[in-house]
C-alpha cells in the first residue's frame, strides 16, 4: 500500500511554490474552518469546526472518520479518506 503522506499529497492540489505536505495540509485545514497559521493548531481547529472537540487528537480523528463510515485503524481510515479526495 502506498504511504499515507503520498495519498494526502495527491489529494491536495499544488499551488505556486507552496507545495510541501505541511503547506498543503495547512491550506486544506484553513479552507475547511481553521484560522491558525500553524498546521498542528489548524488540524485541531479543522476537527473543532466539524464539532469533534472531545478527546485527544487521535480520538478526534477516530470519531470524525468513523462518523464518515470508515473502518479499520486510524492510518487505514486516513488513507482511505485521502484517496477518496478528503471530502469534508
Q: Which grid cell is 60?
A: 478526534
Output the pLDDT for position 54. 84
For 37-84, write each residue's pLDDT tens digit: 999 999 999 999 999 988 999 999 999 999 999 999 999 999 999 999
- Indicate whether 72 belongs to any domain: yes
Into how many domains does the chain fold?
1
- Indicate whether 88 belongs to any domain: no
For 24-44, write each residue's pLDDT tens digit: 999 999 999 999 999 999 999
- Indicate whether 48 belongs to any domain: yes
Tell me how far apart the alpha carbons of residues 15 and 66 are, in angstroms, rounded to a whole number.
30
Output the pLDDT for position 13. 81
What is the distance, to the nearest Å, from the Cα of residue 87 to the centroid of all Cα atoms in its chain? 10
- Indicate whether 75 belongs to any domain: yes
- Indicate whether 73 belongs to any domain: yes
State the residue range of the domain holding 23: 4-11+18-82
Residue 1 has pLDDT above 70, yes or no: no
- Indicate whether 87 belongs to any domain: no
The contacts of residue 38 (CB under 8 Å, 6+ apart) are 26
- Indicate whether 32 belongs to any domain: yes
pTM confidence score: 0.88
- Indicate whether 63 belongs to any domain: yes
Amino acid at each position: 500500500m502506498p504511504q499515507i503522506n503520498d495519498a494526502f499529497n495527491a489529494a491536495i492540489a499544488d499551488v505556486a511554490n507552496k507545495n510541501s505536505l505541511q503547506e498543503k495540509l495547512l491550506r486544506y485545514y484553513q479552507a475547511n474552518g481553521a484560522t491558525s497559521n500553524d498546521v498542528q493548531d489548524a488540524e485541531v481547529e479543522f476537527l473543532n469546526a466539524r464539532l469533534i472537540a472531545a478527546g485527544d487528537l487521535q480520538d478526534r480523528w477516530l470519531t470524525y472518520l468513523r462518523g464518515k463510515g470508515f473502518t479499520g485503524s486510524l492510518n487505514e481510515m486516513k488513507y482511505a479518506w485521502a484517496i477518496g479526495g478528503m471530502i469534508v
